[in-house]
Amino acid sequence: AAVAFPEFPALQRRRPGNLAASPVADFASGSGSAAIGPKALDGIFCFGADPEESLAKASAAKGADDRRAQVLGMLKAADALAESGRLPEAGEEVQAAARASQEMRFEEGRAGALVVMAKIIALQGSLSTAEQLDEALDLAAEAQEKFQKFGSKRCEAAALLALAAKEALGLLRALDDRVAVAEVY
């Protein structure tokens, strides 16, 4: 079964001018907690690291006293779970991180959640609809812009990889090249 993100209106088709439907709608308001540095953000994504090692690091971060560190740990766990093909668990973890980020007005956490959500949608392959894949593209593009603003090159790269994966999947599906689609991820 496909992982769904029903609580997050960003995964429903947005219409121009409907900023309220975006999980990053209040980014522009300027309110929220103090920013976290690019170095802390750069540890979110696994980039080929052993998923079990990444899960151990995520567990340590989730046990921290700082709620922002806990959210980053949830995102790292979600990314590691997605990398190891455990998409339902990754979906649960990223939804928890997104909820906590929204409650805290933690922009960096919400941007990280957008990338992981986009990645999960792309990793689902044929279980994702064309509309969901288009939404994944929108999520990753929004996150990439935010991480560029935050100065986190690794997170920006993760967002760009999610963008590229969606585009590659679309092209290969159009060619009906199932072997190549499987190799994208």
DSSP label at residue 176: T
The count of other CB atoms within 10 Å of the CB of residue 134 is 15
Q: How far is CA 78 from CA 4, 29, 44, 151, in A?
A: 14, 28, 9, 22
pTM (whole model) above 0.75: no
pLDDT at site 35: 59
Question: Considering only 122-126, 137-141, 162-166, 179-183, which range has the smallest mean pLDDT?
Answer: 179-183
State the maximum Cα–Cα separation within the chain, in Å, rounded to a whole number.
50
Model confidence at 117: pLDDT above 70? yes
Model confidence at 29: pLDDT above 50? no
pLDDT at site 173: 66
Give the separation between CA 114 and CA 174, rounded to whole angstroms. 26
pLDDT band (50, 70, 90) for residue 17: very low
Model confidence at 98: pLDDT above 60? yes
Model confidence at 39: pLDDT above 90? no
Burial class (CB in 10 A: 0-12, 13-18, 19+), 52: exposed
pLDDT at site 164: 81
Calculate the average pLDDT of the chain.
77
